[in-house]
Amino acid sequence: MELRPIRKMRVRLWYVAVAVLVVIAAFVLWNFQAVRTPIRWFAWSHYYKTQVLAQPPSSTAELKHIEWDGWGWAGQDTTVYLVFDPTDSLSAAAKRNQPGKFNGLPCEVVLVRRLENNWYIVQFYTNEAWGQRNALECCCGSGQ
C-alpha cells in the first residue's frame, strides 16, 4: 500500500518537471535574440574580438566591424554587425535605444546595443549593409 503514494508523488514530480521545461522553452523561444546574443558573446567573444581587432584602421573614420548576424528571405535581408568603438561613443546611442545616424557608422541604423565596454552590435535597416550603395548610402565612409 505504501507504493501507491510514492508512485503518485513521482508521477506528479514528472508532470511538474515537464511543465517547468515547457515554460523555460517557451521563454527562450519568445526571447530568442535576447537570450542568444549574451550567450553567444560570453562563449565566443575572444574569437570575435580577435577577428575585429585584426582589421587595419579605416581611412574614413569608420569603426572596425564584422558581420555578427543576419536574417531575411526573398531579397529582404537584415544585417547586424559587431562593432569595436575604442572611445565608447556609441554608448549614448545604446542607452537611447532609438534609430539614428551615429559617429563611426556609415549610415542611419535601427538599433545599437552594448555588449560590454567598447563592443556593440549594430542593426542596419533591411536591405542596407555596410559598404553597399543602397537607399541610405552605407558605402561612402562618411562616418559623420
- pLDDT by residue (tens digit) across 120-142? 999 999 989 898 877 777 776 54
| C-beta neighbour count of 133 within 10 angstroms | 10
What percent of the chain shows pLDDT beyond 70?
94
* pTM of the entire predicted model: 0.76
Kindly tell me if the per-residue pLDDT of 61 is higher than 50: yes
Based on C-alpha coordinates, what's the Rg of the chain?
Answer: 22
Average pLDDT over residues 54-69: 90
Structure confidence at residue 141 (pLDDT): 54
* Pair 90, 71: CB distance under 8 Å: no
